[in-house]
A and B are shown apart, each in its own frame.
Chain A
Amino acid sequence: DIQMTQSPSSVSASVGDRVTITCRASQGISSWLAWYQQKPGKAPKLLIYAASSLQSGVPSRFSGSGSGTDFTLTISSLQPEDFATYYCQQANSRGLTFGGGTKVEIK
């Protein structure tokens, strides 16, 4: 099974900061990587798919990059509504695996 490791597990940041979250796959997954945002009591919301494609309606301050085993989600200028938990997720023929999550907190 492919394991997904996110880092950091939490980050404290201020409004306007640039925030970067990384996700590492235990084996190569090409570009089959997605990023989700989840707020308390809500379902996850898809932000990025295919490693770098922005889902419709998602602000352009969110971007994704990477391929193979190493991936990055970047929030270019953190907004108040961006404080949430973020998950990466891989998809291959054997199924889906989520990372452990990164909580973005107010500094």
Chain B
Amino acid sequence: QVQLQESGPGLVKPSETLSLTCTVSGGSVSSGSYYWSWIRQPPGKGLEWIGYIYYSGSTNYNPSLKSRVTISVDTSKNQFSLKLSSVTAADTAVYYCARGLTTVTTTPGYWGQGTLVTVSS
């Protein structure tokens, strides 16, 4: 069974770049034709899709965040990463990484436990 674990700084200063990594176990990010997603949830609010990367390296981002987001894969470490630039307090949220349920769907079926990132000086 695939497992995902987010890691990264819990505190980021305004205007800086948020960087998170998702480590995958029980599967490979570079094979299997899966979609690997990042999703976030501000405290007390709903879920917001940030973007996903396909195993081939192609990406798709939420239009509202597209100018600030980069998702990439590090096959040597079996990880994928999120970078969100020019952050503000509105980017404070729990950030989840996830994998598509099957090889033919982007629907996240397997999720990490989430990591809280606070944007504050």
Contacts and interface: CB of A to CB of B under 8 A. Distances in A.
B46 A98 contact: yes
A11 interface: no
Interface of B: 37, 39, 46-49, 51-52, 60-63, 96, 101, 105-109, 111-114
A49 B104 CA distance: 12
Contact of A98 (B49, B51, B52, B63): B49
Interface residues of A, number: 23
A32 B111 CA distance: 19
Contact of A101 (B46, B62, B112): B46
Contact of B106 (A45, A87, A96): A96
Interface of A: 1, 32, 34, 36, 42-46, 49-50, 55, 87, 89, 91, 94-101
List the 3 closest A-B pairs by CB distance, nearest first. Answer: A96-B49, A43-B111, A98-B47
A58 B108 CA distance: 16
A14 to B, nearest CB: 26
Given A43-B113, A46-B108, A98 B101 contact: no
B47 A43 contact: no
Nearest to A38: B47
B112 A43 contact: yes
Contact of A95 (B60, B109, B112): B60
A88 B51 CA distance: 17
A46 B107 contact: yes
A45 B61 CA distance: 22
13 contacts: A34-B107, A44-B108, A45-B111, A46-B109, A49-B109, A50-B105, A89-B107, A91-B107, A94-B63, A96-B37, A96-B39, A99-B46, A101-B46
A46 B101 contact: yes
Nearest to B63: A1
A64 B121 CA distance: 45
Given A1-B63, A43-B114, A98 B107 contact: no
A94 B66 CA distance: 12
A38 to B, nearest CB: 8
Contacts of A50: 105
